[in-house]
């Protein structure tokens, strides 16, 4: 008798714009790679963002929430403006597409945003930086996602003693908020090259001082991990000067927001970048870094590799199915080695293909490797 296939349910939320073009590529890669490893995926396609608003009147319908909570992992394409809805300024705030993203993150209780910054050797020429800087770069940014400056209270507008208008936000971190994301960073370092660099501004900010203190305390539980601290301004320089020094870069919500976009430019660009939002009690959330990209929507030119690399993260960090993850990673590698490129990562002598064709080539590579 043969053992029955393992089964997973994935909530698939393609969303808006190029989200609907790149998501099918990721889904087909998951389906095929899974079947080669004896795994069946059930994909539950649900609405989110502007697409959900147009169909149901809200950007995050109840059914989407329910299917997401009942899944083993959630895959999200992109939410944002589209050719059809080029602005959402006319909508009340709670009905705008990006609300869908905020809601799902909150519903799943995720608090750590993982962004791998990896330079593919085939794409060295596609980077904004010179080869000697980007070669062999491979690090993981872990950004705190549920607290800090973007959520702290009090915030608002006021009037100061001079009668001037003021605007203010508060950065506040509790020890448990720092501890839980720091643990993810140290655990990740144990699986990688054993280094955590924690980025803060402890020379000036009390919230950073608490951050540094808690991360240092946690490091005592991980004697094998080499912990360093870096000020955020220094890290901005170091990321461009010598990015190879980083293994796991742990940082706060606001610093992570900025540094992950800086780091994005070390790789071939936004069409190559996957991300994961993890740490919640249930299913975790996986989404490419890029948005809906209305400027290229509907033209079949979007790069699906960010989406497919996101599927790899879903397998690796969500389902812990490393063998399937490796299969897809190898297929991407082979496809790039054969010279296939979408327009955004084109290098001299490349075979420029569209989104669909790139997807077909990845599936072919998956078959060939069987």
Chain residues that interact with ligand ATP, rule: CB under 6 A: 18, 22, 80, 270-271, 290-293, 295-296, 302-303, 306, 344
Residue nearest to Mg ion (CB): 291
Strand runs (DSSP E) across the chain, as ranges? 6-15, 39-45, 73-78, 112-118, 138-144, 156-159, 165-168, 195-200, 226-231, 248-251, 274-278, 284-288, 340-341, 351-352
Residue 268: closest CA among 225, 305, 299: 305
Determine which one of 226, 257, 300, 334 is catalytic. 257
What sign has the CA pseudo-torsion 215, 245, 331, 341?
Answer: positive
Minimum distance, C-beta of residue 342 to ligand ATP, in the bound complex (Å): 6
Interface residues with Mg ion (CB under 5 A)?
A: 291
Q: Which is nearer to ligand ATP, 218 or 273 (CB)?
A: 273
Q: Which does 118 bind (CB under 5 to 8 A by kind): ligand ATP, Mg ion, none?
A: none
Minimum distance, C-beta of residue 301 to ligand ATP, in the bound complex (Å): 7
Q: Could you give the CA distance from residue 80 to residue 126 in angstroms, rounded to a whole number?
A: 26
Active site residue 72: no
Active site residue 150: yes
What does 164-229 look like in DSSP terms, one character per residue?
Answer: -EEEE------HHHHHHHHHHHHHHHHHTTSEEEEEE-TTT-HHHHHHHHHHHHHHTT-TTSEEEE
Q: Which does 46 bind (CB under 5 to 8 A by kind): ligand ATP, Mg ion, none?
A: none
Q: Which does 12 bind (CB under 5 to 8 A by kind): ligand ATP, Mg ion, none?
A: none
Q: Which is nearer to ligand ATP, 302 or 325 (CB)?
A: 302
Determine which one of 150, 300, 334, 364 is catalytic. 150
Q: Which does 247 bind (CB under 5 to 8 A by kind): Mg ion, ligand ATP, none?
A: none
Q: Which is nearer to Mg ion, 85 or 319 (CB)?
A: 85
Active site residue 261: yes
Q: Which does 88 bind (CB under 5 to 8 A by kind): Mg ion, ligand ATP, none?
A: none
Determine which one of 53, 75, 200, 201 is catalytic. 201
Minimum distance, C-beta of residue 343 to ligand ATP, in the bound complex (Å): 7
**C-alpha distances in Å from residue 283, one per residue of 193, 276, 354:** 27, 11, 32
**C-alpha distances in Å from residue 203, one per residue of 137, 144, 177, 209:** 29, 20, 20, 8
Catalytic residues: 150, 201, 233, 257, 261
């Amino acid at each position: 008798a043969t053992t029955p296939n393992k089964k997973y349910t994935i909530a698939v939320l393609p969303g808006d714009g190029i989200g609907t073009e790149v998501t099918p590529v990721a889904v087909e890669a998951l389906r095929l790679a899974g079947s080669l490893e004896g795994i069946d995926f059930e994909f539950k396609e649900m609405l989110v963002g502007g697409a959900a608003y147009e169909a149901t009147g809200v950007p995050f319908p109840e059914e989407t929430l329910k299917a997401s909570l009942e899944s083993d992992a959630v895959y999200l394409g992109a939410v944002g403006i589209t050719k059809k809805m080029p602005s959402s300024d006319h909508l009340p705030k709670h009905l705008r597409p990006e609300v869908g993203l905020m809601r799902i993150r909150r519903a799943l209780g995720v608090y750590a945003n993982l962004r791998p910054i990896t330079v593919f050797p085939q794409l060295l020429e596609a980077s904004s930086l010179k080869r000697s800087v980007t070669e062999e770069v491979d690090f993981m940014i872990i950004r705190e996602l549920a607290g800090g400056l973007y959520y702290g209270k009090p915030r608002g507008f006021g009037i100061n003693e001079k009668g001037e208008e003021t605007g203010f936000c508060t950065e506040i971190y509790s020890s448990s908020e720092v501890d839980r994301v720091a643990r993810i960073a140290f655990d990740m370092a144990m699986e990688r090259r054993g280094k955590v660099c924690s980025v803060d501004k402890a020379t000036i900010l009390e919230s950073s001082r608490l951050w540094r203190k808690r991360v240092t305390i946690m490091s005592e539980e991980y004697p094998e991990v080499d912990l360093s601290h870096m000020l955020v301004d220094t890290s901005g320089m170091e990321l461009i000067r010598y990015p190879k020094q980083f293994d796991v870069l742990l940082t706060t919500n606001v610093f992570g927001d900025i540094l992950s976009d800086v780091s994005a430019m070390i790789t071939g660009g936004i069409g190559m970048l996957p991300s994961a939002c993890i740490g919640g009690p249930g299913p975790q959330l996986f989404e490419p870094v890029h948005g809906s990209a209305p400027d290229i929507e509907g033209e079949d030119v979007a790069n699906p590799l960010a989406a497919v690399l996101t599927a790899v993260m879903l397998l690796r960090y969500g389902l812990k199915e490393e063998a399937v993850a490796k299969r897809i990673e190898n297929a991407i590698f082979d496809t790039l080695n054969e010279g296939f490129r979408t327009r955004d990562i084109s290098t001299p002598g490349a075979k420029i293909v569209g989104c669909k064709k790139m997807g077909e080539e990845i599936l072919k590579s998956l078959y060939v490797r069987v």
